[in-house]
Each structure stands twice: as structure tokens, then as C-alpha cells.
Amino acid sequence: MVDWKNTKKWVAGGVLTAAVAVGVSLTGGTQAHAAVDDATPMPSIQGKQVLVGYWHSWKSTGRDGYKQGTSADIALKDVNAAYNVVPVSFMKGDGVNRIPTFKPVGLTDSEFRAQVGALNKQGRSVLLALGGADGHVQLQTGDEQAFANEIIRQVETYGFDGLDIDLEQTAITAGNNQTVIPAALKIVKNHYAAEGKNFLITMAPEFPYLKPGAAYQSYITSLTGYYDYIAPQFYNQGGDGVWVDETSQWIAQNNDTLKKEFIYYMADSLIHGTRGYLQIPADKLVIGLPTNNDAAATGYVVNPQNVFDAFTMLKNAGTPLKGIMTWSANWDAGKSSAGVSYNNAFANTYGPFLGTK
């Protein structure tokens, strides 16, 4: 087994990657020193609200939005400062090996690590997002240690501060993902806990998967006591929603007229494990909203006051939420089909509200 505690090494100012990462001993009497750079710490999110903005690791193809807008090409280090948690999209299968991986596009390992470090230096967390809408992952029983080793290699190489489970569609239940992934993440969490660090474990399930017996239940159950927050996607689910006995009405995700009510009752249902949903503690619940109409087919909140009011209602009920997640930081900096910049409106609206900007 690779001795991962000794993988983050520096000699003569250069990062030892290949030799050390595969456990090859150093020769010639050279003494390696544990790396201490800006990407080394794992910033804490304990006791503070978060604004989570996903970052695209690929180049925009142009007119890639639901309304034919164009997402922005931005460097990781240039993600709007209001986003204090930035998941990097995506870790996934490479078509050859079963263990998913990640490699930055157009940057060397050290260049990408420096960008992670730039955010860490500001107290911002950078996560590695697993899966995505088209990222198939299919692990098998026995892959637990190999997957844990790959996650740790990613952390040691690039400085990631945690992993976000963003599996969708068939990947959620493919192979033995539901048991292998939680087991591997526990190995990683415990590994860094032994170093005095909190490796973040987060999830971003589409909200219909958060019902008893639904696909994400096993992840949540297995990782209870380990996960740091769950950010249900309150978008792209059309008419799915929640039945509210108190008002005798079905409140659908795509009902813009009842947006405040949808956010409030969905969050309240999850916090208390009622109305047909699993339970997620308020201090670990982050609501997921699209950045604009180009970022998702449905779910964009036209009037932010609906979000503010829902958060206030939950706070007054003694159940303040952990924060807000959005897809994505690149869309926030993108432009509409008419070429009008979105001008980071999401970050500029919700950052001050949450106190992250």
C-alpha cells in the first residue's frame, strides 16, 4: 500500500509527483520535506454559512446554455470571491480505468495547485466534484481502498479540501457505488482527521432522490456523522415538489408564483424528515439554485426576495440553513444569447445576504 502520509513532498523547490506518489523511495540520500504551501491547509466551514459555486474544468463551447447563452471561461483563482466553497467539476471515469480520476485542462499540476492555494489562502474551500450529469462512475466491491487512494492522491497533488458526491441518473446506483463510495470516503476522512484536518464530504443530489427508499438514502445513511453538508438541487425537476397538508396544496419546483413557499416547505420537510422526505439537519442543509436561466431548464429564482423570505422564515423557526449552492460560477460570469453579461449577479446578490462577501 502507498504511504500517502509521505506523498506531499518538495525538493529543491520542485514538487515530487510521480516517484513519490507511487511510493518509490527517494535515492541519493536526499531528505524530502513535507510540503507546506498555500494549498496545504483545509479551511474550515464550521460555524459559517456557505455560498457554493461550481467551477467548470473545461472550456466553454459557446451558446452552451439552456437559453443559448455562453458560459464564461474563468481561471479557478478568479472565481468570484463571494463563493467560499468551490467544487471543481468533475472527477469521473476515463473510459479505461474503473477508478475515477481528475486532471486539470491546460495547466500543469503545480500551476493548478497554486490556483487551489490562492483560494485556500483566502479561507475558501476547493472540493473535487464526483460525477456530474454525464460522468459515469461504476465501482465494484473491493475498490474501496483503491478509490480512497486516488482521492488522497488528488488531495496531495492539487490541494483539494474535500469531495462532493454529484452522481446523477444511473451512476447513483451503478455497480456497488452505494457502498463503495461511502466506505472510501470514510477512509479518507479518517486519514486526514489523524492529521488534524477536516476533509469535507458533501453531496448535491437532485431533490427527488431524497425520499425514503430513493437512490441517495444509502449515501446519507452511511455517511451520517461524516458528511459536512448536503445541497439538494432545487432545479431541473419540472413539476416534482412537495404536498403541504397545512395549505392543502401541491407546490411544484417549476411554480414561480410559489417560489418562496417551495423553498420554505422543501427545506422544512428535509430538516424534519417529513412530507415524504429524508431528514437532513438544518446546519448541514444547503439549497441548490441555478445561477440564471441559462444554467438550468427550470428553477431559477427571478425575485431573490423569495429566497431571503424563505431563509428568514426558517431562521425564525429556529432552523437556519447552512447556505446556498449554485450551478455555476462560470454561468454567473457568463452572458446571455444577446451578449449581455450576467455580471456575477448571483454572487453579488446572495454573497452579501449570507455574509460571504
Residue 134 is predicted with a pLDDT of 87
Residue 19 is predicted with a pLDDT of 33
Contact 298, 258 (CB under 8 A): no
Residue 35 is predicted with a pLDDT of 63
Residue 2 reports pLDDT greater than 80: no
Same domain, 30 and 54: no
Residue 155 reports pLDDT greater than 80: yes
Residue-wise pLDDT tens digits, 214-256? 999 999 999 999 999 999 999 999 999 999 999 999 999 999 9
Same domain, 147 and 15: no
Q: How many domains, in total, are found in the chain? A: 2
Same domain, 124 and 164: yes
Same domain, 15 and 49: no
Q: Which of 11-25, 92-106, 133-147, 290-304 has the lowest mean pLDDT?
A: 11-25
Reduced to 3 states, what is the DSSP secondary structure of residue 172?
Answer: helix
Compute the average pLDDT of residues 328-350.
99
The closest of 38, 31, 42 to 9, measured between CA atoms, is 31
Same domain, 18 and 44: no
Task: Determine if the peptide bond prior to 90 is cis (ω within 30°).
Answer: yes
Q: Which of 26-30, 38-42, 337-341 has the lowest mean pLDDT?
A: 26-30
Same domain, 27 and 130: no
Domain extent for 156: 39-354
Q: Mind giving me the DSSP string for 1-69?
A: ---GGG-SEEETTEEE-HHHHTTPPP-TT---EE--STTSS----TTS-EEEE-EESS---SS-STTS-
Rounded to 5 degrees, what are φ and ψ at 166?
A: -125, 40
Compute the average pLDDT of residues 264-293.
99
- Is 111 marked active-site? no
**Model pTM above 0.95:** no
Phi-psi region of 238 (alpha: psi -120 to 50; beta: other; left: phi over 0): left
CATH code: domain of residue 69: 3.20.20.80
Residue 17 is predicted with a pLDDT of 36
The proportion of the chain whose per-residue pLDDT surpasses 70, expressed as a percent, equals 90
Residue-wise pLDDT tens digits, 7-21? 333 222 333 333 333
Compute the average pLDDT of residues 267-286.
99
**Which residue in the list 168, 206, 246, 261 is annotated as catalytic?**
168
Cell of 30: 536526499
Cell of 180: 463503495
10 Å CB burial of residue 254 (0-12, 13-18, 19+) is middle
Same domain, 81 and 116: yes
Distant-in-sequence, close-in-space partners of 312: CB < 8 Å, separation ≥ 6: none
Contact 104, 112 (CB under 8 A): yes
Same domain, 9 and 47: no
Contact 75, 346 (CB under 8 A): no
Residue 77 reports pLDDT greater than 80: yes
Reduced to 3 states, what is the DSSP secondary structure of residue 155?
Answer: helix
Sign (positive or negative) of CA dihedral 44, 45, 46, 48: positive
Compute the average pLDDT of residues 344-349.
99
Same domain, 8 and 128: no
**DSSP category for residue 201:** E
The proportion of the chain whose per-residue pLDDT surpasses 90, expressed as a percent, equals 89
- Cα 219 off chain centre by: 15
Confidence of residue 34 (pLDDT cuts 50, 70, 90): very low
**DSSP category for residue 335:** B
